[in-house]
Amino acid sequence: MTIFLIVLFAALVFEYINGFHDAANAIATVVSTKVLTPRQAIMLAAFFNLLGALMGTAVASTIGKGLVDTSYVTMITIFSGLMGAIIWNLLTWWLGLPSSSSHALIGGLCGAALASAKDDWGVMTWAAVDAKGAAIGLWPKVVLPMITSPLIGFAGGAILMFLLMTIIHRFTPRTVNGVFGKLQLVSAAFMGHSHGSNDAQKTMGIIALALFTGTKAGVFENLPAWAAFLRTPKFEVHQWVVITCAIVMAAGTAAGGWRIIRTMGHKMVRLQPVHGFAAETTAAAIIHFASTVGIPLSTTHAISTSIMGVGAVKRFGAVKWGVVERIIWAWVLTLPVCGLLGYGIEKICVALGYK
């Protein structure tokens, strides 16, 4: 039981860090355009993150049972994967780099599972179909979206911005800023809701996996009657897990992640309300779709590339490509580095006698 409580604590720490690490995803543009103050934007994002996190569990199921063979997963495996993701998230937050918390968690879990399977790569589900005939596995749910979502974000942001420019060029800047300043409140709320619906579910999946693993291992056998809700004969995301993760992510978002907010909201490209609206609407639509089909998408990739696409239409040179290069390196490194961290932590724990 103690090991489960440690895993649960680590999962909630990850969720809290995910909240303030990815707060920039929801509010960077609305802050940079000065439509809302940072504190107002944070509160808006926290509220809609909370609502979004309560909507569905498709992504949680993908994380918990669709990426690795759960027969090799132990509590130490889950703990090691979480610690790998936490270390990387804290490092990239300190450096002000908007890396993907989703890929950090997935990389950590896969690396730890590989270690627990004694280097059997078959522990990872690369591509398969579930009982309903839907595609599952790392390729359709992680790798392919990792490639396509940034391209769609860039192209979608550019196209929407181009269409908006053909409409607004006949109006005065004051009118445009006034209208889109109000519309950006809607797009920022949509972005916060979509972010919560996708990112909060990842920790829900991890906790559900821990409950399932603990039940199989007999961790909860001697619990009192009031704690029987911890036992689960099948993989299932309980309502208490959903509510807990939603609240913790909202609290993390409320804490803010100012280093990353400055990178995304000011350093990549200077935005006006119409640009912020275009970027947020594009990214939120992509993330919302991903949440409905159970894809643990990188919300960071979606909003970052949408901002780039919008900025490129404004003026190609308006995007500070040197900053973009640093961000892309963080994206590329996230999965392998977190995989190595999860693998190494699992090996260390086993060497110390924890299994």
Per DSSP, the residues of 193-258 read HHHHHHHHHHHHHHHHHHHHHHHHTTTTTT--GGGGGG--SS----HHHHHHHHHHHHHHHHH--H
Look-up of token digits 């950090």: 104
Tokens representing residue 217 in the block = 């291992």
Distance CA 352, CA 36 (A): 50
Q: Are 275 and 35 in contact (CB under 8 A)?
A: no
Distance CA 139, CA 10 (A): 27
Distance CA 30, CA 43 (A): 12
Point out which residues pair with 128 in neighbouring strands. 136
Per DSSP, the residues of 73-97 read --HHHHHHHHHHHHHHHHHHHHHT-
Single-letter code of the amino acid located at 19? G
Tokens representing residue 233 in the block = 């004969």
To which H or E segment does residue 181 belong?
helix 173-216
Sign of CA dihedral 234, 238, 242, 245: negative
Q: Are 254 and 38 in contact (CB under 8 A)?
A: no
Ramachandran angles phi, psi of 129, nearest 5°: -130, 145
Measured N-to-C along each axis, helices 173-216 and 75-95 cross at an angle, to the nearest 10 degrees, of 160
Task: Tell me the pLDDT of the chain (355 aa) as tens digits.
Answer: 788 999 999 999 999 988 877 766 667 777 777 888 877 888 888 889 889 988 888 899 889 888 999 999 999 999 999 999 999 988 988 887 767 888 999 999 999 999 999 999 999 999 888 777 878 899 999 999 988 998 999 999 999 999 999 999 888 988 998 999 899 999 989 998 998 899 889 999 999 999 999 888 888 887 777 777 788 888 888 999 999 999 998 888 777 655 555 555 455 556 788 988 999 999 999 999 999 989 998 888 888 889 889 888 877 665 666 666 777 777 789 999 999 999 999 999 999 988 7
Strand blocks (E) in the chain: 128-129, 135-136
Tokens representing residue 215 in the block = 């039940």
Look-up of token digits 């780099």: 97
Which residues, at least 6 apart from 45, have a Cβ–Cβ distance to it below 8 Å? 23, 26, 27, 188, 191, 192, 195, 253
| Stated pTM of the model | 0.87
Point out which residues pair with 135 in neighbouring strands. 129
DSSP single-letter state for residue 118: T
